[in-house]
Structure formats: structure tokens, C-alpha cells
């Protein structure tokens, strides 16, 4: 208790005060994590849809097409393909999804279930459809798996902490 045990007390007091303020504001029906569409919608589906559109319309070679090259100071040329840009875009969505996973409300749980569905669809596409059997889509599929696993783990840890504070 000597090493930061008082922090738990103060965290509990802050959580209690926030709960009272929510009740006073008439917001008691909505748990942490919110119930709006943003919290339920799995954002990792957006890069999957973009990949699907590009791969099915332009073929898998469209994903590897070079958008531009930059000559570095070392003299080496660095090329950025459409697939590389899509992966960077996907990393941003993965970060947002990880931040959203800190909630423990119903919307957050629904988001994790839908994220699992996105991963299962990606896995089926990767295994069964030739246009999706690329390294870019494999990395994208692994990002959806990380989104699902990290979401569940972060939610469990956050809920455990909420229970510890509530006692």
C-alpha cells in the first residue's frame, strides 16, 4: 500500500464523482464507451473496403502500382505504392480502434464482436479469393486480428480496473 496505494483511493473518488455528475446530468443510461455509431462501427473495415474496391476493379497489380518515388539523400530511390499508402492509412485506423477499446460499455463490446467479424471475413477472402492473396492484404488482415485481440484485452484490463476502483 505504501507504493502508490493512495492512488487507488483517489482514482475511486474521481470515478465516484464522475458517476454522480453523470447521474445529475441525466446520463445514467449510457455506460462508459458511449452508445453512438462511432463507438460501434469497426473502423478497420474501411481499409478492407478500399482494398477490395482497388483489387477487384484494378486487379492485384493495382495495389503494387507505384504512386511516386523520392530520391533520398543517400542517392537511393524510395518508391511508395498504393498498397504501402493503404497500410499507413490502416495503421491510423488501428490506433483509433485501440484508443476506443479502453471503454467497457455495451457499444465497445459490440465493436469487438464486429471487429472479430471483419477479421473472419478478411481471413476467408485471403484464403479463398485470388485477388486478396497478397502481402499487403495479409498485413491488413493481421491488423484486423490485432484490433480484435487488443480490443478484448484492453477492455478486460479496463473493466478489471473499474471493478477494483468500485470496491
Residues 39 and 66 in one domain: yes
The single-letter DSSP state of residue 92 is H
Give residue 68's domain range: 34-166
Asked whether 107 and 40 are in contact (CB, 8 A), the reply is yes
Residues 71 and 47 in one domain: yes
Mean pLDDT of the chain: 83
**pLDDT tens figures, 12-66:** 656 666 766 766 665 544 444 445 777 889 999 999 999 999 999 998 789 999 9
Residue 28's pLDDT is: 45
Cα–Cα distances in Å, from 162 out to 12, 103, 118? Answer: 9, 10, 28
Residues 25 and 40 in one domain: no
Residue 40's pLDDT is: 87
Residues 24 and 42 in one domain: no
Amino acid at each position: 500500500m505504501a507504493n502508490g496505494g493512495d492512488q487507488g483511493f483517489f482514482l475511486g473518488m474521481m470515478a465516484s464523482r464522475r458517476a454522480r455528475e453523470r447521474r445529475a446530468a441525466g446520463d445514467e443510461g449510457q455506460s462508459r464507451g458511449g452508445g453512438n455509431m462511432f463507438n460501434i462501427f469497426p473502423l478497420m473495415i474501411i481499409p478492407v473496403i478500399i482494398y477490395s474496391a482497388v483489387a477487384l476493379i484494378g486487379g492485384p497489380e493495382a495495389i503494387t502500382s507505384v504512386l511516386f518515388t523520392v530520391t533520398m539523400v543517400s542517392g537511393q530511390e524510395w518508391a511508395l505504392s498504393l498498397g504501402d499508402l493503404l497500410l499507413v492509412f490502416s495503421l491510423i485506423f488501428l490506433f483509433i480502434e485501440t484508443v476506443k477499446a479502453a471503454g467497457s460499455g455495451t457499444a465497445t463490446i459490440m465493436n469487438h464482436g464486429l471487429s472479430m467479424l471483419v477479421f473472419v471475413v478478411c481471413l476467408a477472402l485471403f484464403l479463398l479469393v485470388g485477388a486478396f492473396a497478397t502481402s499487403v492484404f495479409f498485413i491488413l488482415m493481421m491488423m484486423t486480428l490485432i484490433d480484435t485481440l487488443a480490443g478484448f484485452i484492453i477492455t478486460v484490463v479496463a473493466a478489471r480496473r473499474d471493478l477494483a476502483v468500485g470496491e
